[in-house]
Amino acid sequence: MADPSGTRAPGTLTRGDAQRGRSGAAACPPPRGELTAALTEAFAREPGSGRLPGRALAERADVYGDDVQLALHLCYELHYRGWEGVDDGWEWDPGLLGLRQVLERRFLAALRADAPGTGNAAAALEELVLDRAGGPDVSRFLQHRGEWWHMREYAVHRSLYQLKEADPHAWMIPRLTGRAKAAFVTVEYEEFGAGRAERVHAELFAALMRDLDLDDAYGHYAHAVPAVTLATVNLMSLLGLHRARRGALAGHFAVLECTSPPGSRRLARALQRLGAGPAAVGFYTEHVEADAVHEQLVRHEFIGGLLAGEPGLGPDVAFGIAATLWLEDRLTDHLLGAWEEGRSSLRAPLS
């Protein structure tokens, strides 16, 4: 078992350290079915020259299953740092975009059926600020009962988003105006370190991973997380890439900012109890302080300004909130279900 302090001998490098200064592209994770097998095989060729999976395959695969969710993740990462050895031209390959559209349509349809919400943005926002004390909660489990291996697994699940924290939401900036834009950029500016590279939240999470004796390389654990985790990350990319989904992305952003302070406080206490290093504890204490301010900005200035200018986006904001909470609840059930049974929540336990 790793040292709970997460300390390393001076000069010791992780794989993530070795990658700094390079593009940061991760290797494609192994396929999880026919869809992703065909997709990774196509990625080995130049855009336009590989045979992509057929529409029929994309239509019949389980929309919440590993094959579909990994396929979406493979497509979306082309818009971030790409994949190691994959031609950048795949990002806008017409055939790949057509395949992705089929998967996105099915994913959104499933979420609208499973997490319809009320369509009332104001009511959904009010519900967000209530700390749901009665339901299952990963941060409460970790605070009171979590062991070192639980915390490390939790960091692995969150790493797929946290190592690009705020990036998916940045696509919203050119789609905003006035009061909403000013408030949104204020929050994003702080997420990106307020002008200090070492304070960028993605970098703070990388430091947390090193404190937990985990690999901090971008996308390193894509192979290890299940579909239920991939779906939470895929949603924000899907919403961010489409201007028509800006209202739902605003709702997604509101969930992250408005629910963060109480959960982050509990996670900081969990890490302190387990004897984690200062970087790990500091990541969550930073979010307790920053997101308490962000919550007010997001609710009253960002969402308030957005709906004042575009009131027709209200149902989309409510859907973004409902879909995000529904996917997060599924992830919570998966994590707690595995941990209560004493087994790993990952596809393969950490060494």
**Strand pairing partners for 83?**
26
Question: Does residue 6 surpass a pLDDT of 80?
Answer: no
- Band of the pLDDT at 116, cuts 50, 70, 90? confident
The pLDDT assigned to 16 comes to 43
Q: Nearest 5°: phi and psi at 131?
A: -75, 110
Mean pLDDT of 73-93: 97
Nearest to 314 by CA among 121, 177, 124: 121
The pLDDT assigned to 229 comes to 98
Mean pLDDT of 167-192: 96
Site of tokens 């529904």: 326
Mean pLDDT of 305-309: 97
Higher-pLDDT residue of 129 and 85 is 85
What's the CA gap between 298 and 320, in Å, rounded?
14
Residue type, 178: G
Mean pLDDT of 38-53: 92
Mean pLDDT of 160-175: 97
The pLDDT assigned to 20 comes to 38
What's the CA gap between 5 and 351, in Å, rounded?
17
Question: Does residue 103 surpass a pLDDT of 70?
Answer: yes
- Band of the pLDDT at 289, cuts 50, 70, 90? confident
Q: Which fold has domain 121-340?
A: Heme Oxygenase; Chain A (1.20.910)
Mean pLDDT of 292-304: 88
The pLDDT assigned to 23 comes to 58
Higher-pLDDT residue of 16 and 132 is 132
Nearest to 160 by CA among 349, 346, 291, 10: 346
Q: By mean pLDDT, which of 46-60, 159-173, 205-219 is the weakest?
A: 46-60
Cβ pair 321, 125 in contact under 8 A: yes
Residue 21, both tokens: 């200064």
Look at the alpha carbons of 215, 216, 222, 226 in this order and tell me if their dihedral is positive or negative: positive
- Band of the pLDDT at 13, cuts 50, 70, 90? very low
* Mean of per-residue pLDDT scores for the chain: 91
Four-CA torsion 253, 26, 200, 248, nearest 10 degrees: -10
Domain positions in the chain: 21-114, 121-340
Mean pLDDT of 106-129: 91
Question: Does residue 126 surpass a pLDDT of 90?
Answer: no
The pLDDT assigned to 281 comes to 96
The pLDDT assigned to 24 comes to 82
Question: Does residue 206 surpass a pLDDT of 70?
Answer: yes
Run of H or E residues at 289: helix 278-296
Cβ pair 220, 298 in contact under 8 A: no
Q: By mean pLDDT, which of 16-25, 160-169, 219-228 is the weakest?
A: 16-25
- Band of the pLDDT at 135, cuts 50, 70, 90? low
